[in-house]
Amino acid sequence: MTYPQQGGYPQQPYQPQQPYQPEPRSGGNPATAIITVLFALACAAFEIVLLVNWLELIDGQFGSLPGELIVVLSIQALATLLLVLGAILALLRKTAGAVLAIGGAIVALAGFFIEPLLGTRPNLGRYLESVFEFGNSAATFRALVAIAAVLTLIFAVLPPTFKYLRGNRNDDFPQQQYPGSGGLPQQGYQGNPNSGGFPQQQYPGSGGFPQQGYQGNPNSGGFPQQGYPQQGGYPQQQQGGGYPQQQGW
C-alpha cells in the first residue's frame, strides 16, 4: 500500500518592516526667536552710534584717554560683537545664538550702569534722570540701548526661543537603522522563493527530497518497508470436490 507524498507546510510571506523613522520634533514658535534677533540687532546698532559719537569727541587722541573712558568703550564694543554674533547664529537656528544674545544684553546693561559710576562724582539717579529725559541724541541712544537690551534679554531666555532653536537637531545627527528594519533583502522559504523571512529546515518526507518506494511498487513514495517472505498457500482441492480417491474404490 502506498502513501501519498506529503508536501511542506505552506509558509505565509514575511512582511518586511518599515525603516525606523524618527519622531518629528515640533520646532516651537519662531516668533520669540525672531523678536530676539530684531532687538539684538537694534541694541547693537544703538551701541555703534554711541561708539561713533565717542570717536568723534576723541578726534583720534587715544593716547590721552582716561582709563575710565577706555573701559566704557571696551564694554560697548564687546556688547556690540556679542549681539551681532548672537543674532546671526539665531537666524541659523543655533542654540549658541540665544546664549550670545543673552550675554551681549547683559554686557550692554552693565556698560549702561557702569558709565556714570566711573565719573569723579558718581550720581546714578541724576544720570538716569538725564538719560530718560531724552534731552540730546547721546542721552536718547543710551536710553534706547537700555530698553533694547532688556527686551533682548527677556525674549532670549523664553523657553519657546530655545525650543525653536533646538528644533533642527534631528537633521544634524542621522538616525541609524536597526537590523531587519528594511533595506536588506530577506531570504525566502525553501519551496516558496517569493516569501520573505528565514529559510526553514525541511523534514524527511515533507517534499523536496526523493522518496524511496516500497518494495514491489517502486513508484510509491515514503520510507522503504521491510519485506516478508512469501508464504505458500494451502494445497488446492481437485475439481469435483471431496477427498482424493483411493485406489481400488
Residues 85-104 have pLDDT tens digits of 999 999 999 999 999 999 99
Q: Report residue 108's pLDDT band, with 50, 70 and 90 as the boundaries.
A: very high
- pLDDT confidence band for 169 (50 / 70 / 90): low
Q: Are 138 and 53 in contact (CB under 8 A)?
A: yes
- pTM, two decimals, is 0.58
Euclidean distance between CA atoms 151 and 48, whole angstroms? 18
Highest mean pLDDT among 3-7, 34-38, 56-60: 34-38
Mean pLDDT on 128-135? 88
**Residues contacting 148, CB < 8 A, separation 6+:** 39, 40, 42, 43, 46, 108
Quick one: cell of 167? Answer: 528644533
More confidently predicted of 189 and 228: 228
Which of the four pLDDT bands, split at 50, 70 and 90, describes residue 143?
very high
Over residues 176-187, the pLDDT tens digits come to: 555 544 544 455
Q: Per DSSP, what are the bridge partners of residue 217?
A: 214
Mean pLDDT of the chain: 73
Is 110's pLDDT higher than 90?
Answer: yes
Q: Which residues pair with 189 in a beta bridge?
A: 192
Distance CA 53, CA 70 (A): 14
Report how far residue 147's alpha carbon sits from residue 119's, in angstroms, rounded to the nearest whole number: 23
